[in-house]
Amino acid sequence: MATKPTIAIVGSGWAGFTLAHALSVTKYHVVVISPVRTVQYTPLLASAAAGMFDFRLAEEPVRRINRLPDLEFFKATVEDVDFAAKTLQCRPAVSNIADQHLADSHSFSVRYDKLVLTPGCSVQTFGTPGAVEHAHFLRTTDDARQIQQRLLEMLDAASTPGLTRTQQRDMLRILVVGGGAIGIEATAELSDLWQHHMRHLYAHLDVRDDDDKGELLSLEIHDVAPTILGTFDDRLAGYARKKLEDRGIEIKTSSHIEKVGEGAIWTKESGRIGYGMLIWATGNGVNPLVEKLDGVRKDGKLQRIVTDRRLRVRAADTEEVMPDVYALGDCADIEGASMPTLAEVAVQKAEYLARQLNQASLDGGASGPFEYKQRPNLAYLGQHDGVMGGQEEWTGHSAWLAWRSGSIYHWPRSWRRTLMIGISWVFNAVGGRDIARRW
């Protein structure tokens, strides 16, 4: 009896998850290796942090009963790839259990027939001292959970009797580093949470100073770029900035953060700025595995793996493609057709590659090369307001509706998840969010 070929997928992000569940398990044995056991629905993370719905609705597990035993998952980190031997060297990503039961040197290897590299990118901190130690990130549901808990701790700490206004103001200042869509949407969701819910629960903190320095709880966006939402055109970015500032959100562009400490950042322009919570949303950095890989062609600041239009990895220093090796997602880019690090690009590439592998036509069959179908670029601004760019440009309530419907219907790709999120919204409207109950 012939054994099915093994396809190893490194990573469980948008690309890896989509590919793993689109491949035919009648033709292939699929092995996914990732330090995260779920795909993270990044457009939903800020909403989850703000208590819109349960955190579990912002993720989806890789394992599926109906795809066993032909889809295996190992919660591990791939540390090296031997392309000649078609072997992955892995280490378990279960630190607490590993410390108790496994030797420090414990590792294992995975053999493959075809390899798909989708490890994504790391957090980009630009080497800012203290950022990793003190900032909150927004890349996983665990990050969203920690942000929500930090917010509640801030409000409770500021409620301690005997504090000065200056102490309260520093405790209740939320700094968001990064003026891209993730940073803007996190700011918008937290602003909505305070304005419509938490200020009523913490009415004693809903005050202004006598010298009118503004509300005690404040949000600031810092970005090293001269504008926010750099992927949108100037008109939409300008609209977004005005709307955010009208809602009391301070925006500091061309802001150079020199270091981060516990409870304060230092910028070149403004010196020391105290904070109660720091959210770091500055984009992508080079993935450690990609940085380490030898023999593959890499390009650009992110050192993304270079592929041809059929997503086959280019060998270093040659014009040849590497046999049975593919790359997609944020860690990869197509030679001569650079594309942004967007979830939609990763999903479309994964769907394309699954079709090709299922049809066994990667060597020049009937199907043509990958072509990206651009979708609208959306960002939420709070107060049922948003911006949408692309072939059509919308602002205001219509852009918010497009963003909200897209975030719960298109991305999760699950009727059950869409229904559960909708039910959560109904409960929120009737009784308030779980962290700000009306009764």
Same CATH fold assignment for domains 6-123+284-360 and 141-282+378-431: yes
Contact between 325 and 117 under an 8 Å Cβ cutoff? The reply is yes
**Spatial distance between the Cα atoms of 75 and 78, rounded to a whole number of angstroms:** 10
**Spatial distance between the Cα atoms of 14 and 118, rounded to a whole number of angstroms:** 9
Signed CA dihedral, 129, 135, 138, 141: sign only: positive
Which architecture characterizes domain 141-282+378-431 according to CATH? Answer: 3-Layer(bba) Sandwich (3.50)
**Spatial distance between the Cα atoms of 388 and 380, rounded to a whole number of angstroms:** 9
pLDDT tens over the chain, length 439 residues? 458 999 999 999 999 999 999 999 999 999 999 999 999 998 899 999 999 999 999 999 999 888 888 999 999 999 999 999 999 999 999 876 656 666 556 789 999 999 999 999 988 898 999 999 999 999 999 999 999 999 999 999 999 999 999 999 999 999 999 999 999 999 999 999 999 999 999 999 988 765 656 789 999 999 999 999 988 999 999 999 999 999 999 999 999 999 999 999 999 999 999 999 999 999 888 899 999 999 999 998 889 999 999 999 999 988 799 999 999 999 999 998 888 888 889 999 999 999 999 987 455 445 789 999 888 888 999 999 999 988 788 999 999 988 887 766 555 567 788 888 889 989 988 888 988 888 7
Give me the pLDDT at residue 103, please: 58
In sequence order, the 6+-apart residues with CB closer than 8 A to the CB of 400 are 380, 381, 384, 385, 386
β-strands 257-261, 264-267 pairing: antiparallel
Classify residue 423 by burial, with Cβ atoms within 10 Å: 0-12, 13-18, 19+.
exposed
Is the full-model pTM beyond 0.75?
yes
| Segment holding 167, helix H or strand E | helix 165-171
Contact between 397 and 385 under an 8 Å Cβ cutoff? The reply is yes
Q: Where are the domains of the chain?
A: 6-123+284-360, 141-282+378-431
**Max Cα–Cα distance, the chain, nearest Å:** 82
pLDDT digits (tens, 9 = 90+) for 416-425: 888 888 899 8
Residue 330 DSSP SS3: coil
Which amino acid, one-letter code, is at 158? A
Best CA proximity match to 275, nearest among 263, 291, 286: 263
**Spatial distance between the Cα atoms of 81 and 1, rounded to a whole number of angstroms:** 29
**Spatial distance between the Cα atoms of 98 and 93, rounded to a whole number of angstroms:** 8
Q: What's the topology of domain 6-123+284-360?
A: FAD/NAD(P)-binding domain (3.50.50)
